[in-house]
Structure 1
Amino acid sequence: MTLKEKFSSEDWAAVLQAPMLVGLAVTAADPGGLIGAVQESAAVASSVQKAGEGTLAAEISAAYRTSEGRSAATDGVKPLVKGKKPAEISEAAILRVGEIAALVDGASPEHAAEFRAFLIDTATRVAEAAKEGGFMGFGGEAVSEAERKALDTLRATLSLQA
């Protein structure tokens, strides 16, 4: 039995959304320019690709390599962002991540801690992917105050300490 089989199709689609949502929570907390957004999106992809074998993250990675998996993830995220300001998007994404973590707790409690750690690692990679507040890549800070707050809120939501 694969880990995916522990979830209903609706719940699995939600699990697939989680890495995108943590990335979105951090990116929307302190939106930068196009280059920063691309770097932060690449950080989500990199984090998912580096998932260890036999983990829930590895099954998410395998799903992302299919058009169905990518569609399930993105289709669930779109309604969350439509018509919202960046701060509202960040807040909604964090709330949804907490709901998804609870789904994993119920369906696969033996993988819940690993899944939560994977999400925090992904969010941290996103926060560190692009400098904020600089000009054309010069100056700025690696992780902005708003991104730190989003990370702290994610850690609290997922009950993980820094």
Structure 2
Amino acid sequence: MARKADFTPDEWGKIVTAPMLAGMAVTLAEPTGLFGILKEGMASGRALLEARSDPGASALSKAVAADMETSEGRTSAREALQAELSSKSPAEIKQKAISTLAEVAAILDAKAPQDAAGFKDWLKHIAERVAEAASTGGFFGFGGVEVTEAEKATIAEIAAALKIPAS
């Protein structure tokens, strides 16, 4: 069972920001306006909260959720994201998110192989939840497409970066 102490501070920073990056990449694939972005952000946050109490969640997912419950953990994650993503366009942010997820996959495969599969599946699940959170098109939330082709493609990119099956 991997713990925070098993990783360098840089590695842990990437692991802790990975859930946010998975959600952010999907949101940037096809932004759905202010309310859509809020719904998608909330879906990502809910997935973090659910990991804490889900008996099926990996120990590493629970450790990340616990770290994000602390002020220090949230501040560290926010600062890491700002350092990596500031001054970038939405397309650049999306690509950076996906490349960082690939780095996280490599870190997990090397240092936490017993937890890697569960954590990677959790990251993909977060991306899927974010994609399903807000429909695109329609009128006042009615109609429209629940998960767009761009979002599906981004989920496939995330799965490829994590080296897990897309569906």
Q: Deviations over 1:104-142 (max 9, x none)?
A: 222211100111001000110000001112332122110
1:82 lines up with 2:82 in the alignment: no
- 1:97 is aligned to 101
- The 8 Å contact of residues 55 and 111 in structure 1, kept in 2 or not, is answered as yes
Q: Does 1:62 align with 2:66?
A: yes
Deviation for aligned residue 1:90? 1.2
Rounded to whole Å, the distance in 2 between the matches of 1:157 and 1:2 is 21
Deviates more, 1:22-31 or 1:8-17: 8-17
**CA distance in 1: counterparts of 2:108 and 2:79, whole angstroms:** 20
What is the one-letter code of the residue matched to 1:21?
L
Identity of aligned residues (%): 40
Q: For residues 4 and 84 of structure 2, what CA distance do their matches in structure 1 show?
A: 23
| Alignment equivalent of 2:151, drawn from 147, 150, 159 | 147
Corresponding residue for residue 120 of structure 1: 124
Q: How many residues align?
A: 162
How far does residue 2 in structure 1 lie from its aligned partner after superposition? 6.3
Moved more, 119-128 or 43-52: 43-52
Residue from 136, 142, 149 that aligns with 1:138: 142
Q: Deviations over 1:22-60 (max 9, x none)?
A: 011000111111111111111111111111356111011
Residue 131 of structure 1 contacts residue 143 of structure 1 at CA under 8 Å; is this kept in 2? yes
| Mapped partners of 1:31, 1:133: distance in 2 | 11
| CA contact 2:30–2:150 (8 Å) conserved in 1 | yes
**TM-score (norm. length: structure 1):** 0.93
Q: 8 Å contact 1:3–1:56 — kept in the other structure? A: yes
Cα distance between partner residues in 2 of 1:30 and 1:81: 18
